[in-house]
Amino acid sequence: MTDNSIAVETAAAPVAASLTRHKFRPKPPTHLADMTPEERKTVMKESGFPAFRVRQLENHYFSHLSIDPDTMTDLPQGIRRQLVEQFFPPLITKVYSRQADNGTTIKTLWELFDHTKIESVLMRYPTRTTLCISSQVGCGMGCPFCATGMLGLTRNLSTAEIVEQVRAAALLAANGGLAGGATRLSNIVFMGMGEPMANYKSVVQAIREISALPPQGFGISARNITVSTVGVVPGIKKLAQEGLPVRLAVSLHASNNTLRDELVPMNKRFNLEKVMDAAHDYFLATHRRVSIEYALMRGINDQKINAIELAKRINHYGDNWAHVNPIPLNPVEGSRWTASKPEDEKQFLRILNDAGITATLRDTRGNDIDGACGQLAAKYYENETTK
């Protein structure tokens, strides 16, 4: 466990095993986005350049999304490459991208400096453009229905490895890479590979840089950033005190502890009561409605009794503090967990709505490109190991 993480050891064996693996790994090169503004100035001065060059680099990076020395015409030509090499070491390299939904969804597999892989998904909607990003290589939470969970955890991402996913997507969107023409990246969801609360410090620093106004950040409103957790209670509590109005999404996936112990091993450490209490406290502290994520699995958690139990748990705290997103499960190949029947999805939604709870079936973008969390990377690793 590094000081970069919230303590999340659980009864789930993969957590401990994968954290041990992560301990001795080399760190990614330090990038401008890993440093505080003061640290950037110190490094700049130590390299023999005046501190005001930092503001110029920040402006190229955060305002213009550029790391190309040829565009940095306000810097003397003789030092551009040196500064770019020092402050913008390459951290993510595209392996391949896949399009879906008529070009309005682009899923990208990235290779990191140590040849590990992560993914991000860019999605255009009528009123917003959303990027789903990864916070770890793999995930140590061990949810048995999840492709990323099957990979286990390799390591945490650095702040800059997270921020670089955003810069790359913002540039792609601005350059018209999505069907429909040029657009502005407006929303970020931490719902790719990994448990964001297990990489807390890097995730929060990344959120601050994503939401700060240019030239110190990308200027994407913190209100448009969602942090998704499987229920790491200390992380939820800490995030509530950060003064960041980000939305919290809690992946519940079960309506009672017996079922959740099986579907989400973290439940053995922080059970449903603790998770729901922390989520409601988050709502009280931030006045942001909490999203409850619930992957519907056929015959497992999608029956009438599950919807009634879930509604009771939410209404226990009063009205209108949470929104439920039932998600049709995108089945992982070879897994015994599969998507609900349409009639069961409808019944589930109806019961929640009748209990006064807002619930909308979440759009599952990119299903035809292995769109479930972690599936592209999972498939890549599978192909590599079966070659």
Positions in 132-171 near ligand SF4 (CB under 6 A): 139, 141-143, 146, 148-149
6 binds ligand SF4 (CB under 6 A): no
Token reading at 337: 């967990």
| Cβ neighbours of 273 (radius 10 Å) | 11
Site string for ligand SF4, 220-259 (x = CB under 6 A): ----------x--------------------x--------
Q: By C-beta, is 72 or 121 nearer to ligand SF4?
A: 121
**Minimal distance, residue 150 CB to ligand SF4, in Å:** 8
**Minimal distance, residue 158 CB to ligand SF4, in Å:** 19
377 binds ligand SF4 (CB under 6 A): no
Positions in 298-337 near ligand SF4 (CB under 6 A): none
Catalytic site positions: 119, 373
Site string for ligand SF4, 87-126 (x = CB under 6 A): ----------------------------------------
Is 58 exposed, middle or buried (CB count within 10 Å of its CB: 0-12, 13-18, 19+)?
A: buried
Sheet strands side by side (includes 129-132): 93-100, 105-111, 117-124, 129-132, 187-190, 225-229, 247-251, 290-296, 322-328
- The kind and range of the H/E element at 38 are helix 37-46
Q: By C-beta, is 72 or 189 nearer to ligand SF4?
A: 189
**Minimal distance, residue 97 CB to ligand SF4, in Å:** 21
Positions in 59-88 near ligand SF4 (CB under 6 A): none
**Minimal distance, residue 319 CB to ligand SF4, in Å:** 29
- 176 phi/psi in degrees, rounded to 5: 80, 25
Q: Residues 251, 255, 260, 266: what is their CA dihedral angle, to the nearest 10 degrees?
A: 40
**Minimal distance, residue 337 CB to ligand SF4, in Å:** 11
Pick one of 324, 339, 373, 377: the residue that binds ligand SF4 (CB under 6 A).
373
Residue 157: CA count within 13 A, CB half-sphere: 35
- 274 phi/psi in degrees, rounded to 5: -65, -40
Helix/strand/coil (H/E/C) assignment for every residue in 330-376: CCCCCCCCCECCHHHHHHHHHHHHHCCCCECCCCCCCHHHCCCCCHH
In the complex, which residues of this chain contact ligand SF4 (CB under 6 A)?
A: 139, 141-143, 146, 148-149, 195, 230, 251, 373-374
